[in-house]
A = this chain, B = another copy of it.
Amino acid sequence: MASELMNERDIEFMLYEFFDSESLLKRERYQDHDRQTFNEVIATAKTIAEKYFLPIRQKLDTHQPTFDGKKVHLIPELKPAIDAVIASGLSSATADYETSGMQLPPIIASIATSYLTVAGGVGLGYNMLTTANANLLSAHGSKDLIEKWVKPMRAGRFMGTMAMTEPGSGSGLGDLITKATKAEDGSYRISGNKIYISGGDHDLSENIVHLVLARLTGAPKGIRGISLFVVPKFLLNDDGSIGDDNEVALSGLFHKMGGRAQTSTALSFGEKNGSVGYLVGEENQGLKYMFHMMNEARIMVGTSAAVIGIAGYLYSLDYAKNRPQGRLPSSKDPLSPMVNIIEHADVRRMLLAQKAYAEGAFSLVLYGTQLSDDEKTAASAKEKEHAHLLLDFLTPIIKTWPAEYGTKANDLAIQVLGGHGYINEHPVELFYRDNRLNAIHEGTTGIQSLDLLTRKVPMNKMAGYLATLAEINITIEQAKHYQRLTEFSQQLTAAVTCLKLTTEALLSAMTSNNIDLALANSVKYLELFGHVIVAWLWLKQGLVATKALENKPHQADENFYQGKLQTLQYFYRFELPQIALWSALLIQSDDSTYQMKAEWF
């Protein structure tokens, strides 16, 4: 099966036709780069993906990490793959030159990483978490912490984790109970249990640097009394060499539906005397630091979900183009040759849905990624602020829509392959299983929907909400000039009206007596908003395609643009109309779920 990992033509489209990423080269930070270096970085990632990860993708799934009571064992092929990524510089592609980064734009790094992700880069989680850990410490840790822990992580000697979840608190971090007490030497002693800690133990590095949320003795209850600590697996001697064991014990490994190369651990901290921990930033400010990282993580989750969706789409597309089976209904002769299954309209429906979901999600996560760049490197303070406003507002959607619809795309990829989709000779069922976590971790869909409706919409006098609608309106105005897009610009106009009416009704209901009822169907609101956003980005894609077609491109490009327009049409005809149903439920404050009593189930 020679299916592409990612669609290179679509990447070119997104980078240089949709986003104009070449314009980034004007920014001081990126002045050493050019389009060629962008493409080379992506090509390097592709090479590593194909050489190191793709050959072990299935094995990483079927040989999940084991714990013999003393040590965790991973398949030996993983370390060279991770080392290749570290050696290429890709794990710190966006970091500053001073911290041995490549100062690449996030959108380039994101696309490069996508190749690794879909080639089996779930094993890459170890690097990604290490980078996120190092970034957090670089931003909020003391010089001493950076010297001692960040440097070896950047060098690939140590790896890092984020230790948040506890058996009693998953979605509600305010209820965590891991304890911290101050010791005489200024360090702290940490004790408690954490679960679902990705990369919590392994044999890939000399040491593991855990970032642990814990509550100081006497600290306020709830989320205002949480502090963040560096708690290493091994303490360091004064010369930086590995010292004593720090009472971080692995209590067990979880066996997951997917993402199996990444250890998911239950850790026990400080059972005897307490694990030594070093405070990050100030006491009781831990959640603030962690949330900074979590917003980045949410874009990463959305991106993984989108590109795994794309990988399943491309694989099932290749299969459909090459698998003969059955005949068309119009074929009168049952003895005529079989057609490839892509000739069956229902198979094309499943491919179109995948393309609409996955490429729509891809445009959304790249948009978020570009905003995360713009908020730091755009030309003016005003542009930076505008980008920040949009990104902050859209984050719940950027995380959730790709997670939900990328996974739906993978489900359809299984169906396209039929019985072949259900066995591990083909990777589509693996894509589904890997992707299924994305609607759960870093805030479930339900949590994200409450964040959107109760925080992001009302925030700053609805500034983020209004800025988003203004962006959509710009595209509608542009699309109006093209006859081929009239149907869609009209439909999007109506969809925005529907969204506005729904939002107003909800905000009004939220100020009424019964906030619980007003928020009961918040997930439908997130889905509605997500559909409008993705419809908008599809119209933007359609706009680029329509303009490009006017220039009479060569055949391959014409096919590509026609495909974009047909997918736009599919999304507007098959998917977008659903928002009317969700809006009706929301505007009527439908109480079907709210009124259901626990004892009636």
A contact set with B: CB distance below 8 Å: 62, 165, 168-172, 174-175, 195-196, 221-223, 254-258, 264, 317, 321, 324-330, 334-335, 338, 340, 342-349, 351-352, 355, 414-415, 418-425, 429, 432-433, 436-437, 439-441, 444-446, 449-450, 454, 514-517, 519-523, 559-560, 562-563, 566, 569-570, 573-574, 577-578, 581, 584-585, 590, 592-601
**B-side contacts of A424, CB under 8 Å:** 255-257
Q: Is the CB of B440 within 8 A of A415?
A: yes
Give complex CA distance A42, B519 in Å.
43
Q: Is the CB of B415 within 8 A of A346?
A: no
**B-side contacts of A578, CB under 8 Å:** 578, 581
Q: Is the CB of B593 within 8 A of A352?
A: yes
Q: A421 touches which one: B343, B440, B569, B581 (CB < 8 A)? A: B440
Give complex CA distance A62, B66 in Å.
13
Closest to A430 in B: B257
**B-side contacts of A559, CB under 8 Å:** 597, 599-600
Q: Is the CB of B593 within 8 A of A345?
A: yes
Identical chains in the assembly: 2
Q: Is the CB of A597 within 8 A of B562?
A: yes
Give complex CA distance A219, B590 in Å.
62
Q: Is the CB of B592 within 8 A of A581?
A: no
Q: Is the CB of A419 within 8 A of B440?
A: yes
Q: Is the CB of B423 within 8 A of A441?
A: no
Give complex CA distance A444, B420 in Å.
12
Q: Is the CB of B171 within 8 A of A418?
A: yes
Say whether, besides A170-B419, A171-B418, A257-B423, A446 and B196 are in contact (CB < 8 Å).
Answer: no
Say whether, besides A254-B425, A440-B421, A593-B349, A415 and B445 are in contact (CB < 8 Å).
Answer: yes
Q: Is the CB of B422 within 8 A of A256?
A: yes
Closest to A577 in B: B581
Q: Is the CB of B415 within 8 A of A444?
A: yes
Closest to A582 in B: B574
**B-side contacts of A449, CB under 8 Å:** 346
Q: Is the CB of A573 within 8 A of B600?
A: no
Determine how close the nearest CB of chain B comes to the CB of A76; give it in whole angstroms: 22
Give complex CA distance A422, B258 in Å.
8
**B-side contacts of A562, CB under 8 Å:** 597, 600
Q: Is the CB of B450 within 8 A of A437?
A: no
List the 5 closest pairs (A to B, CB-CB), nearest first: A563-B600, A345-B520, A349-B593, A257-B429, A222-B334
**B-side contacts of A415, CB under 8 Å:** 439-440, 444-445
Closest to A313 in B: B601
Closest to A425 in B: B254
Determine how close the nearest CB of chain B comes to the CB of A442; give it in whole angstroms: 11
Determine how close the nearest CB of chain B comes to the CB of A577; give it in whole angstroms: 5
Determine how close the nearest CB of chain B comes to the CB of A464; give it in whole angstroms: 20
**B-side contacts of A573, CB under 8 Å:** 585, 590, 592
Q: Is the CB of B516 within 8 A of A338?
A: no
Q: Is the CB of A598 within 8 A of B321?
A: yes
Q: Is the CB of B328 within 8 A of A516?
A: yes
Give complex CA distance A578, B580 in Å.
10
Give complex CA distance A172, B325 in Å.
6
Q: Is the CB of A170 within 8 A of B592?
A: no
**B-side contacts of A436, CB under 8 Å:** 414, 422, 429
Q: A329 touches which one: B342, B352, B454, B600 (CB < 8 A)? A: B454
Q: Is the CB of B446 within 8 A of A346?
A: yes
Q: Is the CB of A196 within 8 A of B419?
A: yes
Determine how close the nearest CB of chain B comes to the CB of A579; give it in whole angstroms: 10
Give complex CA distance A519, B326 in Å.
15
Q: Is the CB of B174 within 8 A of A334?
A: yes
Give complex CA distance A221, B337 in Å.
12
Q: Is the CB of B330 within 8 A of A515?
A: yes
Determine how close the nearest CB of chain B comes to the CB of A328; give it in whole angstroms: 5
Q: A352 touches which one: B172, B196, B566, B592 (CB < 8 A)? A: B592
Say whether, besides A165-B419, A562-B600, A521 and B349 are in contact (CB < 8 Å).
Answer: yes
Q: A169 touches which one: B325, B348, B444 (CB < 8 A)? A: B325
Q: Is the CB of B346 within 8 A of A171?
A: no
Q: Is the CB of A523 within 8 A of B592?
A: no
Give complex CA distance A420, B167 in Å.
10
Give complex CA distance A349, B594 in Å.
8
Q: A450 touches which one: B221, B223, B264, B329 (CB < 8 A)? A: B329
Say whether, besides A257-B422, A444-B415, A326 and B593 are in contact (CB < 8 Å).
Answer: no
**B-side contacts of A334, CB under 8 Å:** 174, 221-223
Determine how close the nearest CB of chain B comes to the CB of A410; give it in whole angstroms: 11
Give complex CA distance A581, B593 in Å.
23
Write 23 A-B pairs (CB below 8 A) sorted by A numbering: A165-B419, A168-B324, A169-B325, A170-B325, A170-B420, A171-B325, A171-B418, A172-B338, A175-B338, A223-B334, A254-B423, A330-B516, A343-B598, A346-B449, A347-B446, A348-B594, A349-B593, A352-B592, A559-B597, A559-B600, A573-B590, A574-B590, A581-B581
Determine how close the nearest CB of chain B comes to the CB of A207; give it in whole angstroms: 26
